[in-house]
Amino acid sequence: MGHARLDPDPTCLSSADISTDQLPTEWRFQPAPPPATSAVGETARFLDFDFQQSDAAAVLQKIGTRGPDLPFAYVVTPNVDHVVRLERIRSDLWPAYRRAWLTLCDSRILARLADKAGVRLSVVPGSDLTAALFDTVIAPNDKVAILGGSPAMIAELCRRYGLRNVQHFNPPMGFIHDAHQRSRAISFLIEAHARYSVLAVGSPQQEILAWKVQASGAATGIGLCVGASLDFLCSEKTRAPRMLQKLSLEWLFRLVQEPRRMWRRYLVDGPQIFAIVQHWRRTA
């Protein structure tokens, strides 16, 4: 069976626009399309994602040594929320992940489920990666483009790391549904000619934009789809203590912090991962 698309333009919907119950059965559990580009280094396939099998140090080395004038490539960090969205709600988003240069496992829960299925995954949380990039890879004079975040947050980021060559654009809420605003965001990333483009507008918006920027053929550098990582880095939000992270309970900490925003993600959508894994194990 071919891979289903829910809409000819994947920018037209967000995961909140439709629920799993609204989808025909044949649109669920669709196999992912084959990779569009060869992966960098060794990968492990789990739930139709080809996860990079490198530790954080190796990932940092790959990012830091990639030529700044090479064609635009981007990094995605799927977690349980991403997997459930693609497998149950937004199968049309697969190309945005398949065309990523590096696919990193952001979730210890995913890694544990993979281990039970006989697949070993290296966990490189996006928030840890972002902090390490600013600590050890991104130099003060590197050209950096940041999409998302408040001006105050960007000012704090520049202050902390001595960044002197930063361009910033914060698109309005709901921009992904507005063709003009989407075009502005894409043009910003292309025209910045940055070595590092930080996309901090949430998933799947940031992955869609990275995919579109790459497809333009006009951009260079590396795109980093980092979600809320800058919020944690600049102390706009508090990340779970290390002990809770190691116990795979970071989700519970975020739920307690932001119950109105997170309850559906963690109490309704998230548990679907167990059925998704069971189905994958039967059909893989």
Half-sphere exposure of 58 (CA within 13 A, CB side): 12
* Distances from the Cα of 261 to the Cα of 103, 167, 172, 214, 256, angstroms: 26, 29, 19, 31, 10
User: What sign does the dihedral 57-62-68-74 (CA atoms) show?
Assistant: negative
Contact 86, 30 (CB under 8 A): no
For the chain, what are the domain ranges? 20-283
pLDDT score of 14: 37
Letter for the amino acid at 14? S
CA distance 191 to 73: 15
Q: Give the number of other CB atoms < 10 A from CB of residue 246.
A: 11
Contact 8, 238 (CB under 8 A): no
pLDDT score of 167: 98
Structure tokens at 169: 């654009």
What lies within 8 Å, CB to CB, of 91 at 6+ separation is 3, 4, 5, 6, 27, 30
Structure tokens at 127: 């928030």
Letter for the amino acid at 271? P
**Preceding omega of 204 cis (within 30 degrees of 0):** yes
At 80 the three-state DSSP class reads: helix
Q: What angle do helix axes 272-283 and 108-116 make, rounded to 10 degrees?
A: 40
pLDDT score of 40: 61
Q: pLDDT tens track of the chain, all 284 residues? A: 333 333 334 444 333 333 333 333 333 334 455 544 445 668 999 999 999 999 999 999 999 999 999 999 999 999 999 999 998 877 889 999 999 999 999 999 999 999 999 999 999 999 999 999 999 999 999 999 999 999 999 999 999 999 999 999 999 999 999 999 999 999 999 999 999 999 999 999 999 999 999 999 999 999 999 998 999 888 778 787 888 888 888 888 888 988 998 899 889 999 999 999 999 999 87
Half-sphere exposure of 19 (CA within 13 A, CB side): 6
pLDDT score of 232: 87
State the pTM of this model.
Answer: 0.83
Instruction: Give the chain's radius of gyration (CA, Å).
Output: 18
pLDDT score of 41: 67
Q: Alpha-carbon dihedral of residues 212, 265, 276, 76, nearest 10 degrees?
A: 30
Name the residue with tokens 């439709």.
Answer: 18
At 254 the three-state DSSP class reads: helix
**C-alpha 247: how far from chain center:** 22
Contact 62, 102 (CB under 8 A): yes
